[in-house]
Structure 1
Amino acid sequence: MRAVVVSFVMVVRQILKDGMLLAVCFASILAGVFFRFAIPYLETLLCSYFAVSSILSPYYRLFDLLLMILTPYMICFASAMVMLDEHEQHLTRYLSVTPLQTRGYLASRLVIPAVTAGFISLGVLKLFHLTAWTVGQQVAISVLCSLTAIIAGSVIFSLSRNKIEGMAMGKLSSLILLGLPIPFLFHDNFQYIFSFLSSYWMSRFALDGSPMFFILSLVLSLATIPYFYARVLRKVM
């Protein structure tokens, strides 16, 4: 466990030395400030201009969801960039045969960053939320966001050969979040086309609070992780 913690600290130090990755990690703070102060102001202006009661307010929950997922996603993106840099320098195989071992290496690069970011996302939501959340909903969404971030980080690392491709893959991997706006935009059976995405059920859970939707999102995430874990494992070894 000590080796895993030391390895995680190494990741943090590498991110702190890279201005771009450091900025990426603080993206959720900037987004939170914008969502919390600019969105309600825009809502007031738009409603006044178009003489309607609401335009953006029905999507406030979606903004909160995006805010929560942004922290784990960006931190795992930064961690995946560090992994790609280590892979380019042929350090991954070396690290995997140290006392850290392969599982410890992956835990320090993907799992611990995602879990840590999940806790941070709770604080970010507390500061910048637009809608009311129960404690249970916050914790449940935080867990789902952390799992989604692990998947995204695994996709970025396993499908990229270098950091340049990793940046492109970071944008492509955001497609796993495509399910988030669907329940807000579609209210008929068309929305179930996206039911294979865990992010869709995450969004349904945020809207309805049904434990069944949480379980569906959790199961889909847990079913996806082993596939990409195997790909990451092959690349590391």
Structure 2
Amino acid sequence: MSTFIEQIKADSKNIFRDPMISIIPFVPVLAAFALSYLIPYINTFFAIKEYYHIFAVFVIILSPMLYSMVIGFMLLEDRDEQLLSYISITPSGKGGYLSRKMFIPVVASFLITLISVPVSRLSPVHGFLLVFPALVSASGVPLFALFLAGFANNKVEGLAYAKGSGVLFLSILFAFFLPEPIQYIAGFIFPYYWVARVFETVRMTEVNYLRVVIETTAGLSVNILWTYIFLRKFIKKCG
């Protein structure tokens, strides 16, 4: 427990030491608040109200995307400083270190999403039903953090990868505009798809809870699979 607390303190110092990174934890709620006024304002000029739910999904995935970027940069720094080589000989090893590293961002991402969506006022989905897409979304934090840390050679490359991964936002559109058989194929390649898929199901007038559970499980499974793949890549790169 003391090791866990010590790591949280160390990570907090690293986050708030960098001015750019230090504001990222607060961006999701601030962005949701801005969108709560911006999107309705745009709607006065262009009829986009029927697409509010798509903007709501953007709010849901914003938090894990930003949090994973922060953790990814921290892992890059740890790797460059050869910290993981020393950690590998400790009792908990790299696995324990990475688990502790990911725990707080995953939980924070989940909780921030539950706050951000109501703040955005872009969707009637809230409370218990919002838990399902928020859970799938938060499970993407380790995935994208390890993706950045596993493929980037430095922070500059990491930033480029982070920007490039922004195109994955477009995969949420599959849940709204592609026929379902094709959707599910895309879902094995694009993790963000499942956030939109689950959200689309829970926002129905009559919610099919069995379908919600199945889609949530599918989303979590895909994220876990990709997390494992990127974890292997990251460990291999660490040497």
**TM-score normalised by the chain length of structure 1:** 0.86
Quick one: which amino acid aligns to residue 200 of structure 1? Y
State whether residues 136 and 220 of structure 2, in contact with CA within 8 Å, keep that contact through their aligned partners in structure 1.
yes
Does structure 1 residue 136 correspond to structure 2 residue 128? yes
Which digits, 9 at most, give the CA deviation of each residue in 1:119-175, with x for residues without a partner?
122122232231111433211112111111211111000111111111111123334
Partner of 2:110: 118
Identity over the aligned pairs, expressed in percent? 23
Does structure 1 residue 18 correspond to structure 2 residue 18? yes
Partner of 1:44: 44
Shift of 1:15: 0.7
Partner of 1:153: 145
- Identify unmatched segments of 5+ residues in structure 2: 203-210
Structure-to-structure mapping, 1:151-230, within 5 angstroms? 151-186=143-178, 191=183, 194-196=186-188, 197-209=190-202, 210-211=211-212, 212-230=214-232
Which digits, 9 at most, give the CA deviation of each residue in 1:156-201, with x for residues without a partner?
0011111111111112333444321223344586655523233223
- Identify unmatched segments of 5+ residues in structure 1: 47-54
Partner of 1:52: none
Shift of 1:81: 0.7
Structure-2 separation of matches of 1:172 and 1:235: 21
Does structure 1 residue 57 correspond to structure 2 residue 40? no
Shift of 1:39: 0.4
Quick one: which amino acid aligns to residue 125 of structure 1? V
Partner of 1:82: 74
Structure-2 separation of matches of 1:175 and 1:149: 17
Greater Cα offset, 227-236 or 181-190: 181-190
Greater Cα offset, 87-96 or 160-169: 87-96
Provide the alpha-carbon RMSD of the alignment.
2.2
Structure-2 separation of matches of 1:63 and 1:134: 15
Q: Aligned in 2, Cα 1:100/1:18: closer, same or farther, shift over 3 Å?
A: farther
Quick one: which amino acid aligns to residue 205 of structure 1? V
State whether residues 198 and 216 of structure 1, in contact with CA within 8 Å, keep that contact through their aligned partners in structure 2.
no
Structure-2 separation of matches of 1:177 and 1:2: 38
Q: Does the residue aligned with 1:161 lie in a helix, a strand or coil?
A: coil
Which digits, 9 at most, give the CA deviation of each residue in 1:90-111, with x for residues without a partner?
2222233345531222123223
**TM-score normalised by the chain length of structure 2:** 0.85
**Equivalent pairs, count:** 229
Which digits, 9 at most, give the CA deviation of each residue in 1:27-85, with x for residues without a partner?
21332122111101110232xxxxxxxx2112211211111211122112112111212
State whether residues 187 and 193 of structure 2, in contact with CA within 8 Å, keep that contact through their aligned partners in structure 1.
yes
Structure-2 separation of matches of 1:126 and 1:100: 39
Partner of 1:28: 28
Q: Does the residue aligned with 2:122 lie in a helix, a strand or coil?
A: coil
